[in-house]
Structure 1
Amino acid sequence: MASFKKLSIALLSAIAFAPAAFAQDTGSTDASGTDTASGKRIAIVGGGAILQPDSNPTPGLEVDGGTAPTLSASWYVNDNVAVELWGAADKFNHRVRGPQGKIGTVEQQPIAVSGQYHFRDADAVMRPFLGLGYYESNFSNEDISGGGPHVGLSTAKGPIATAGMDFNINSRWFARTDVRYMKGDADVNVAGEGTGTELTLDPWTVGLGLGARF
């Protein structure tokens, strides 16, 4: 996951310096002098999401959903095409249950980079978008050993698909709702040794947020 974090830092750095690079192309008014979202290259969104893993990741085991705050930063190549860095600002906490009830908890914190296409004009009241990219989700604080050797989960990684809608409030502010699907398994380790068992978590997230363009 270290290499992915470096990529994320690089993307954030590019976003941080983009306003200066595009200073000639980020006017907030159109030819008639009307305030517009067109030409703004950076979007920051803060919100929250519910993450729901596959309810039956392996026979006899269930993992409940969790909630966490989320953040995203996007750089718009133009009004329709964007590159987004998205992730959980805190950890999703999940209760793990077996046939006899709760057997422990585990936390995860996903991060993803996606390419997105935003439909319709930048100033349209409702702007649907679709995205496809790559994610990694780090698991921590695994407490599912039941008093035996420590049970750990490896980092899940794989493709992520996104579908969402932006609701423009004005040329700068917008509300967002989105759904994300992450495809990836986590290897199960016991006392630091691989077991050959995988948890097929394949989580969905449903999120709401408030964003600003610059």
Structure 2
Amino acid sequence: MRDNLARKLAWPAQEVAIVVGVSGRSLRVRSSSGEVEARRAASCLLEPALGDEVLVAHHERGSHVLAVLERDDAAPARLSAEGDLEIAAASGRVSVSGRDGVDVITPAEATIAAGSARLSAARAEAVVGVLSLLGDSLTAKVDRIKTVAQSVETVAERLVQRLDRAYRFIARSETVRAEYLELEARAAFHVKAETTLVNSGGLTKIDGSQIHLG
């Protein structure tokens, strides 16, 4: 087959052919001069598919598909390369856009490193097995937060909360242990329980303009 092709073409030569077979980076192409096995050139990042019209270069070491010239408009386009692939702009920006969506998929690690990052979406969902967040400052401005968890643990040097109204509904028990505990109410302080115990190792003081017991 190659000898027949050599008689028809003066090497090196280029011609247009149709992809009739695909096996990895090995392709089988058919042209007016016959069928040959060809390899996808390293510069041909668009992965050829069956039925594509391609530009083929023939030379002493074989044949290579240089580019995909035409394909069915409805067929998907796939950019692929053997080994690592880097897309870089010496100056300016790099944009990736898709009318129907953009997917980033890898079984290994995905890294985003930037001086500043921004995420803007009408709706976002994150499913993470284990999440670790390390940073100097966190600011969140939202209308509503709902958290459903089996266990929540917060460790902090200082905790300050400023609320207009606060409601806590605890089904079983609540325990507070502190070296110094102060509760202050401007209008009223109401404690209601079936049993109330107040224990102190030292002084217990009740002070008020009126005190009613019983």
Q: TM-score range by the shorter chain?
A: under 0.3
**Structure exhibiting the larger radius of gyration computed from Cα positions:** 2
**Higher helix content, 1 or 2:** 1
Q: Greater relative contact order: 1 or 2 (C-alpha under 8 angstroms, separation 6 or more)?
A: 1
Q: State the TM-score, normalized to the length of structure 2.
A: 0.19
Q: State the TM-score, normalized to the length of structure 1.
A: 0.19
